Every structure is written in structure tokens, then in C-alpha cells.
A and B are shown apart, each in its own frame.
Chain A
Amino acid sequence: MRNFPLPRPASAEAGLGDAHRRAWRRPLTLLAGLFVLLGTLITMPTVQAQDAVAIELLEALDVSSYPAKGEAITAIAESEDERARDWLSALLEGRLQRTDEGRFVIVLDNSGRDWPVADALSGEALGTMSRRDLDRIGINNALRNQLRSVIAVVDLYASDVGLRRASAERLLGEVDADLAEPLAGLIEQEEDARVRQRLTQALAIHRLEQGDILAIEHLDGSLHPRVRVALARATADSDNTELADAAQTALNNIEQTLRLNRAAETLYFGLSMGSVLMLAAIGLAITFGVMGVINMAHGELIMLGAYSTWMMQQLFPGQPGLALLLSIPVGFLVAALAGIAIERSVIQFLKGRPLETLLATFGVSLILQQLVRTAISPLNRTVVTPEWMSGSLVINDALSLTLNRMYVLGFSLLVFAGLLLIMRRTRLGLEVRAVTQNRAMARSMGIRATRVDILTFALGSGVAGLAGVALSQLTNVGPNLGQNYIIDSFMVVVFGGVGNLWGTLVAGLSLGVINQVLEPWAGAVLAKIIVLVFIILFIQKRPRGLFPQKGRAAEG
């Protein structure tokens, strides 16, 4: 063993840096935020003591005998030092090296001529060093194998639950005879239930491979693919029919649960898709109900909403979350203003001619599309999903719900609730319902129908803009965005009936779910066709949709 003089000042500095890190992690110190410095001073002596231990651990590696190195590796693994994993993986990759002064360093990148290195103890970057000034701590194949399995379990000794969970996750299907014994001991000590369950399963897979029939008991009900692979392999084991049968039973149980989970996932996807459809269609249904006209440019208003999200993200680069939140009112306003412009410039001149209105607004939709194509780009634009919306909510091994869809679903329902409130509780809502039922009578009661028209159109268009904001989180934003959704939204309106918000909600959600249910076995295109045929047949029974308007309002 080489003896080396450790430069005192550097070590003190390293100790302090380490102490900072540690101090922050302690809840007590966190609470007493002002006393961080004080906390640092108190913890300093123990840190120095730990570093002494750490140096000793590393020193033990730098010996010529490989068995001795093996013992040193085990010692490091069991040391509960947080840096142990870094050291061991660096050792495995030949990046744990020693300077001429005897300092332990980790080489960060050994591809070039001069290597950037960091202190193995403090993690502090030490600039680049020539490879000639460094000594590598060598290992052989036996050590390499040992290191791999040790690294797999080293995190299991960590105090952080997250690290232990991740490590246990990785162990599934990777357990071999060497690991089995320490694992059994670890399970006893483990406090976290999830880690314990995972480790039990990992061990059970190993025991199952050894032919232990009792192991199946621990695997039953687990949805992890690795478990299913192990069980499937066991069923193929023709030597041990008892084991094969037991594995088959367990596998069948798992398949059953899996089917339920898949159904739940389909339902979730269907509901989120349906909520977007509902959002896209509800504005259309309102304007159709009040004015009896179909706005073919509705899809393009959705597109405008999506593009305003993109615009806001261009205005606030690096803050996608803020941009998204701001684009909710902005998207609403942009689409509502565009809607008012369409109403004032085209639709008001076509009163009482619904088919002509349809054609004229189709013209507007062509112009808007081409406008976006020439002004922005014919290509799709990607809208960034903010961090708090990406990722997914893991329910179990087979079922995880993507967060962006959940936000979209929640947002759609919020908008729906808002619209419901407006229709039920405000003066405008009352007037809108009156005009929907009987325009002439409403006017003679003193309701200014033209004003109601404009406001309804603005409201419906604004909601289309909101649908665009929501859609920008699910698909690419492009000039054809609206076109892709307009026919589906029409179907929702036809299916749900007009003038009834609940009809649109039920129709949108159920069409979304039907589409998702059909898709796996019919394919996306055929599913769409089946839905269209279904709607054509559906209106045989109920020509005015699910929730038709009743009484005199129905004809007229």
C-alpha cells in the first residue's frame, strides 16, 4: 500500500463542499434555513471522519491481489456511502484512477488525449489531466462480474427510497445464484413495502427458474412483463408438469387482470380523445342551435387556437408552462375575434339561408388555411409540452396514464362546466336559450337577437380556440389541424343533437371511446368508417340526435 500525503487544504475544502450538500438534505437544516452555516459547522467533523473512512475504502482497492480487491469491493458496497455507486461503476469502466500525488479521481471522458477528471471524494471538477499522470486501478473478468452484480444491489443499501426502488426495479429477472443469498437478507431488513415486494418477486423469479413451485405464489398477480416471461418459460418446462400447471394458472390469472387493465387504458384514451371531440364540437353545437347555421370554418378556429399556443411559446421561449397558461385566454380571444369577424363580414348577410352559410364559411376556412400556410409555414409546428404535463401517472406495471391527456380531459370538463354555468345562470345564457327555442318570440319579448347572435358566435368560436389550445398538447400543430377534426365534430353534433350541452358531452365522450374500442381489432381507418356508418344508422332511429329539442322548438 502506498502512503501518500493528502493535501490538507484541499481536503478541508472538499469536506466543506460535501457538507453543504449533506446539510441541504437534512430536513431539520432545511427548516432552519437561516442556520445552514451553523449546521455546516456542526456536521463538519463527522464528514471529515467519513472521508477518512472513504479514503481507506478506496485505498483497499489499490492492491495487486485480485481476491483482496474483491473484498474491498464488497466493503465499499456495504459501506452505505452515497458515492459507492459512482466509484464502483467508474471502476468497472476503468475510469477510477489515481493521480501521481495519490489522489483518487474519476475520469469523466476518456476518449481524447487529455481527460477531464473529477475528485472521487468531493465530486469537484479538477480540469483536464494527461493520461500519463494517471494510474488506472485494474480489474479482471471475475471482478467485472462481481462488480456488475454488486452495482445492481449497491443502491439497495442506499438510504434514499427512490434509489432503492429503482434498483429493485432493475433486478427483476437479473437475479443469479450469487445474488440470491444477500437478497434474501435484504428483504428481511427492507422497510419500504414496494421495494420489498419487488425484491421478493425478483428472488421468486430466480427460484422459479430453479424449479421451486412455491415461488409462483409470490409471482401471482404481478403485471410486470419480466414476471410473465418467467412464468411463460416455466409453463414450457416439460420435465416438471406440476410446476408447469401451477405457472399456467398463475399466468391465466395475470392475463385476466391484464385484460382489465387494458380495458381501463382504452377507456382512458377514449375519454381523453372524446373530451377533445366534445370541446371541438360544443362551440359548433351552440352556434348551430342558436342561429341554425353550420360554421365550416370552425375547424380553422380550432387551428387558430392551436397556433396561438405556438405563438405564445415563441414569445416566451424557455417557459412553456407559462406560455401554455397564457395561451388559454389568448387562444380564446383570438378565436373569438376571428369568429366575430366571420359573423359580421359573412354570416349576417346570409340570414335564413343555412346552406349558403355553409358554403360561404367553407370559403372562409379555405382562406384561413391558406393564410396560415403562406404566413407561417405549410409544415407542422411542434408545441412544447411543459414539464409538469409530461410523464405519466403509473397505476401499476401494465397501466400508466399519460399526464397530458389527463390535463386535457380535466380542462375539457372545466370548460364544459363553465359553459353550463353561462347557459344556466347568466342573462346571456337565458337569452341564448330563448332565441334557440323561438327567435321571433324572443325578439318580441325584447331580446336583441342580433346581439345574442354575435355573442353566441364569439363564445362558440372562443371555445373552439380553447379546443385548439388543448389539441396542441396532443398532436402537431399544422394548417390541416382543423380539417382533421371538423368532420368528427360534425358527427358529434349530429349524434348528440343541438341546443343541449349534455348531448354534446355524451356524444363526444362515447364517440371517442367507441373509436378507441374499435381501433385495436379494426384498425384506425376502419374504426372511423364503422363509426360513420353507425351514425348514419343511428339517425334512422333518432334523426335529431340523442337529446333532441322537444315541442315547438323542434320544427323551425
Chain B
Amino acid sequence: MQWLGRPFTERSTLIFLGVLFSALVLVTVLHVAVPQGHPLYVSAYTVNLLGKYLAYALLAVAVDLVWGYLGILSLGHGAFFALGGYAMGMYLMRQIGDRGVYGHPVLPDFMVFLNWDSLPWYWQGFDMAWFAFLMVLLAPGLLALVFGFLAFRSRVTGVYLSIITQALTFALMLAFFRNEMGFGGNTGLTDFRDMLGFDLRSSDTRLGLFIATGVALALGYVLCRAIVTSKLGRVCVATRDAEARTRFLGYRVERFQLFVFVVSAMLAGLAGALYVPQVGIINPSEFAPLFSIEIVLWVALGGRATLYGAVIGALLVNYAKTVFTGVMPDAWLFALGGLFVLVTVFLPKGVAGVLAYRIRRRRRDGDLSGGKEAMA
């Protein structure tokens, strides 16, 4: 278990965890202890919004793991995110029980509406929390396993792989739009009531979900850090930089790729599962190719292959999105498009790259002046 402890010896991980937990505590205190109306009070709406951002941040970490350290530009991670979300959504649907509009004891409303008389087989078991939470990881993991196995075995890499992943999420989107699929079609799954016995509409539950998402992000971050700092991580980086050479050195490159790809898909699924109860709906638009490629932009803006950069990027872009779409919705796509161009052309290493450069230069300057002092 040495590899799992290694991240805690890194300064960047400790700083990240420190900032994250301070933020969690701060928001909790400001939400619970500060009276409403006070300028420092954090509303339940804001807590919810921040929880959503944290789920996105976890998703960005998952994408950075494959893109930053494996060189696989997946344009289909939205699919894993949405699958995790759907698994959670199915559990939440079953929790509604007979409180739906039609009051059917077992069937969700949309199935009653479609005149179905029994639950499809793939909906069985989702009334049990443990099974649903397992599926949150297994469903995206299995898809990633099958897809990755086929793709990596035939050495599909680079731009080809990006296009195929995009086609994958596009196909899933089309499929989930169909009513016959049994996932609520266009509308998706919504109207959730409670989760593990807690009312989803109460602000306490929302705060709990926010904290849970923050903890999940911390755990996911540490796990990814552990992977990339392990020997396995070194092989990944080698694969990213020179796939053919790594293969000639005797490594079964496709196995490493497959393993990391599946882990990343599971993390994305977890992010989706935490996202759904906070926004209260999951529908096929999460499968849209635009969303998947947007995730990649978060990572690119924050800085590839740093993990913390992915978190920064996700928070920045989504905050900007919230502000923009509120103030001038038409301009958002211009801004997003411009961001894609500017980041790739002018900020190839992202915000994290700029930060690291600044820090390094200051340190070097410090070293130089220290040296001068020693000489003098």
C-alpha cells in the first residue's frame, strides 16, 4: 500500500487537500452559523451550485487522468458521467415509490404513461441502495472495459480514438432519447423525492451532498495522484510520450491504457451519481458531444497532467458559464468558442502551467539571490 501513501508526501497534494477542506468547512460554517440576510451568508442555492461544480471538478480530474497522463483525448467522458447519473437516477426513481403522479407502487411515472405493465429486467435491484451505488461504478466501468478493450487492442489512438469516443457518446445519446429504451426518453429521470431516507429538497440534505461531493473529489484526487506517481503511472506517461517505444520495451501498453481508462470512467460515473441528486434531473443531453468536449476544455484551461489544474479549470469555466448565461446567454457560445481557441493557441499548459512557471521563476530568483549572498 506504499503507492497509496505516496501522494501525501507531495506538497501539491497537501496544498490541494488543505484548500479543498478549508473551503468545505468555510462554506458549511457560513451556511449554518451565519444568520440569513448577513452579507457573508451562503444560501442553500449557492451551496447546491458549488456542489454541482465539485461534481464537475471530479469529472475533470477523471478526464485529466486519461488525457494528461495517457495521452488519450476522450471526447466521450460525458457518456460515463451520464451512465453513473442514470444509475443514481434509477435508484432515486425507485425511492419515489407510490408517491408519483400515477401512484403506482413500483413503476415510475413515465412507464405508467407508456402503458408498461412491469419493470424491465435492467431496472431490477435499483430499489436497493448498495446495488445502485455499485452500478454507479460498474455501468460506466463495464462500458469503458468493452470499448477500451476493442479500441486499444486494435491500436486505435490519437485523433481516431477521439472521433470514435465522440461517436460512442453520440450513439448513446440517440439511444437514450428513445422512449423504448426505458430511461424516460426525452425527459429523462426527474421528480426525485429522497435518498437514503433524506428529503432531497431540504437544505440540510443539500449541504450533506455538497460535503459528500467534496470528500469524493478529495478521494478521487488522491487515487489519481497515487496512480500517476506509481510505477504504473510512469509506464502511462511513457506510453503518452512514445507509445511505440514503450511497446518495444516489452510493456503491454494496451493493458495499462485499459486499466487507467476504466478507472477514469468509474470516477466519471461517480461524479455523475453525485451530480444527479443535486440538480434533480438526468436526461440524454448529458450525452451530447458538446458537453464531453467542454469537459476537455476545463482540463485544457486548467492545465493538463496536473490534476489540480483540471479542478481549477472546471470551477473557472462553470462559474463563467453561470454568470454568462445569466447576463447575456447569446454571448456564452462565443466566449466558450473563443476560450477553446485562446487556450490551445496561447495557453498550452493552462492556468496551472502559468502558476507553476511563476513559482519556479520566483524560486530560481530566490536561489540566485541566495547564491549571491553566499558568494558575498
Nearest residue (CB) in A for B300 is A359
Nearest residue (CB) in A for B72 is A355
Which of B175, B300, B337, B340 is the one whose CB lies under 8 Å from A525? B175
Cα of A367 to Cα of B338 in the assembled complex, Å? 7
A370 near B334 with CB under 8 A, answer yes
CB distance from A155 to the nearest CB of B (A): 50
B150 near A369 with CB under 8 A, answer no
Give A residues with C-beta under 8 Å from B: 288, 292-294, 346, 349-350, 353-360, 362-367, 369-371, 373-374, 487, 490-491, 493-494, 525-526, 528-529, 532-533, 535-537, 539-541, 543, 555
Which of A349, A358, A365 is the one whose CB lies under 8 Å from B159? A358
Cα of A490 to Cα of B162 in the assembled complex, Å? 10
A366 near B171 with CB under 8 A, answer no
Contacts of A526 in B (CB 8 A): 175, 178
Interface residues of B, CB < 8 Å — how many?
42
Which of A359, A370, A491, A539 is the one whose CB lies under 8 Å from B344? A359
Main DSSP-derived SS at the B contact region = helix
Contacts of B158 in A (CB 8 A): 354-355
Cα of A373 to Cα of B293 in the assembled complex, Å? 21
CB distance from A338 to the nearest CB of B (A): 14
Cα of A355 to Cα of B162 in the assembled complex, Å? 8
Contacts of A528 in B (CB 8 A): 171, 174
A363 near B339 with CB under 8 A, answer yes
Contacts of A364 in B (CB 8 A): 337, 340-341
A350 near B293 with CB under 8 A, answer no
Cα of A494 to Cα of B160 in the assembled complex, Å? 7
B159 near A293 with CB under 8 A, answer yes
Contacts of B358 in A (CB 8 A): none
B175 near A356 with CB under 8 A, answer no
Nearest residue (CB) in A for B146 is A536
Interface Cβ pair total, 8 Å cutoff: 120
Cα of A359 to Cα of B160 in the assembled complex, Å? 14
Nearest residue (CB) in B for A365 is B337
A490 near B166 with CB under 8 A, answer yes
Whether B26 is near chain A, meaning CB under 8 Å from some CB there, is: no
Cα of A288 to Cα of B163 in the assembled complex, Å? 13
CB distance from A247 to the nearest CB of B (A): 39
Whether B168 is near chain A, meaning CB under 8 Å from some CB there, is: yes
7 interchain residue pairs of minimum CB distance: A363-B340, A366-B337, A367-B337, A370-B333, A360-B344, A363-B337, A532-B171
17 example contacts (A-B, Cβ-Cβ < 8 A) are as follows A292-B159, A350-B344, A353-B348, A355-B162, A358-B73, A359-B296, A364-B340, A365-B337, A370-B334, A373-B330, A493-B163, A532-B168, A532-B170, A532-B171, A535-B164, A536-B151, A555-B244
B150 near A537 with CB under 8 A, answer yes
Contacts of B343 in A (CB 8 A): 359
Among the interface residues B151, B158, B340, which one has the most CB atoms of the partner chain A within 10 A?
B340
B341 near A360 with CB under 8 A, answer yes
Cα of A346 to Cα of B341 in the assembled complex, Å? 7
CB distance from A147 to the nearest CB of B (A): 52
- Extra 17 A-B pairs, beta carbons < 8 Å, given A363-B344, A529-B175: A346-B345, A358-B162, A359-B296, A359-B343, A360-B341, A360-B344, A366-B333, A366-B334, A367-B337, A369-B333, A487-B166, A494-B164, A529-B171, A533-B171, A536-B164, A540-B154, A543-B160
Whether B324 is near chain A, meaning CB under 8 Å from some CB there, is: no
CB distance from B295 to the nearest CB of A (A): 11
Q: Within residues 135 to 182 of chain B, which ones have a CB less than 8 A from any CB in chain A?
A: 147, 150-151, 153-156, 158-160, 162-164, 166-168, 170-171, 174-175, 177-178
Cα of A374 to Cα of B334 in the assembled complex, Å? 10
Q: Would A487 and B170 be within 8 Å (CB), given that A494-B163, A525-B178 are in contact? A: yes
Cα of A293 to Cα of B156 in the assembled complex, Å? 16
CB distance from A140 to the nearest CB of B (A): 55
Cα of A445 to Cα of B166 in the assembled complex, Å? 38
CB distance from A44 to the nearest CB of B (A): 71
B159 near A294 with CB under 8 A, answer yes
Contacts of B340 in A (CB 8 A): 359-360, 362-364, 366
Nearest residue (CB) in A for B346 is A349
Mark interface residues in B332-366 (1 if CB within 8 Å of A CB, else 0). Answer: 01101111110111001000000000000000000
Q: Would A491 and B167 be within 8 Å (CB), given that A363-B340, A366-B336 are in contact? A: yes
A543 near B337 with CB under 8 A, answer no
B174 near A529 with CB under 8 A, answer yes
Q: Would A374 and B330 be within 8 Å (CB), given that A363-B340, A529-B174 are in contact? A: yes
Cα of A490 to Cα of B151 in the assembled complex, Å? 16
CB distance from A295 to the nearest CB of B (A): 11
Q: Would A355 and B336 be within 8 Å (CB), given that A346-B345, A543-B156 are in contact? A: no
Contacts of B344 in A (CB 8 A): 346, 350, 353, 356-357, 359-360, 363
Contacts of B73 in A (CB 8 A): 355, 358
Among the interface residues B163, B168, B348, which one has the most CB atoms of the partner chain A within 10 A?
B163
Contacts of B175 in A (CB 8 A): 525-526, 529
Mark interface residues in B63-94 (1 if CB within 8 Å of A CB, else 0). Answer: 00000000001000000000000000000000
Contacts of A371 in B (CB 8 A): 334
A349 near B162 with CB under 8 A, answer no
Q: Would A349 and B345 be within 8 Å (CB), given that A362-B293, A490-B167 are in contact? A: yes
Cα of A366 to Cα of B175 in the assembled complex, Å? 25
CB distance from B101 to the nearest CB of A (A): 27
Which of B154, B289, B341 is the one whose CB lies under 8 Å from A543? B154
A539 near B167 with CB under 8 A, answer no
Which of A350, A369, A373, A490 is the one whose CB lies under 8 Å from B345? A350
Nearest residue (CB) in A for B155 is A543
Cα of A363 to Cα of B293 in the assembled complex, Å? 10
CB distance from A114 to the nearest CB of B (A): 55
CB distance from A55 to the nearest CB of B (A): 69
Cα of A529 to Cα of B151 in the assembled complex, Å? 17
Nearest residue (CB) in A for B71 is A355
Cα of A494 to Cα of B57 in the assembled complex, Å? 32
Whether B297 is near chain A, meaning CB under 8 Å from some CB there, is: yes
Cα of A111 to Cα of B175 in the assembled complex, Å? 55
Nearest residue (CB) in A for B289 is A487
B174 near A525 with CB under 8 A, answer yes
A536 near B159 with CB under 8 A, answer no
CB distance from B294 to the nearest CB of A (A): 10
A370 near B147 with CB under 8 A, answer no
Contacts of A294 in B (CB 8 A): 159, 162-163
Which of B150, B155, B177, B336 is the one whose CB lies under 8 Å from A363? B336
CB distance from A463 to the nearest CB of B (A): 19
Cα of A218 to Cα of B168 in the assembled complex, Å? 54
Contacts of B174 in A (CB 8 A): 525, 528-529
Q: Within residues 297 to 353 of chain B, which ones have a CB less than 8 A from any CB in chain A?
A: 297, 300, 330, 333-334, 336-341, 343-345, 348
Contacts of B153 in A (CB 8 A): 540
Contacts of A373 in B (CB 8 A): 330
Among the interface residues A346, A355, A540, which one has the most CB atoms of the partner chain B within 10 A?
A355
Cα of A493 to Cα of B147 in the assembled complex, Å? 20
Cα of A159 to Cα of B207 in the assembled complex, Å? 88
Cα of A230 to Cα of B178 in the assembled complex, Å? 39
Contacts of A525 in B (CB 8 A): 174-175, 177-178
Cα of A74 to Cα of B71 in the assembled complex, Å? 87
A536 near B336 with CB under 8 A, answer no
Cα of A49 to Cα of B171 in the assembled complex, Å? 75
Contacts of B300 in A (CB 8 A): 356, 359
CB distance from A137 to the nearest CB of B (A): 60
Which of A359, A374, A533, A540 is the one whose CB lies under 8 Å from B297? A359
Nearest residue (CB) in B for A342 is B341
Cα of A85 to Cα of B163 in the assembled complex, Å? 64
Cα of A536 to Cα of B156 in the assembled complex, Å? 10
Contacts of A532 in B (CB 8 A): 167-168, 170-171
